[in-house]
Structure 1
Amino acid sequence: FDLSNDIGERINLHDKQSETVKRLTNLLEKYIVDGRSTKGEPQKNDVKVDWKRATQTKDAGKAKDKTKK
């Protein structure tokens, strides 16, 4: 999302920014494997991390309009 022009997160730029998505996905996977995002020795995660499953849920990625009642 481009928050400076799309504060409501209505326009998903995933397809237009596929290289950025790939780079950030790889970085996220590295953080999970390493157990950290900072420099240092890898650490064990306290809990099982299954981010791919979490992003495939029915409502994942859908912006919630908090102005609607």
Structure 2
Amino acid sequence: MTPEMVFYVPGQRNALDYARVGPDGQHFALFDGRSLEELRHEFPTVEVITEGEFYSTRKEATAEL
């Protein structure tokens, strides 16, 4: 099974959106349809990571609070 992917800005507590791969191989936001390139205009450090990686990262960030 393929892991769920999310758009994530390092240091944030929440993911921006789930990421889906389009027919051209680019990642697109599930809810608003923006591409990774489009999201980077607003969020320059946005990354595509697995949902599992996001939860691990979020847990670490929350523990630091």
TM-score under structure 1 length normalisation: 0.26
Q: Which has the higher strand share?
A: 2
TM-score under structure 2 length normalisation: 0.28
Which protein, 1 or 2, shows the higher relative CO under an 8 Å CA cutoff with sep ≥ 6?
2
Whose Rg is larger?
A: 1
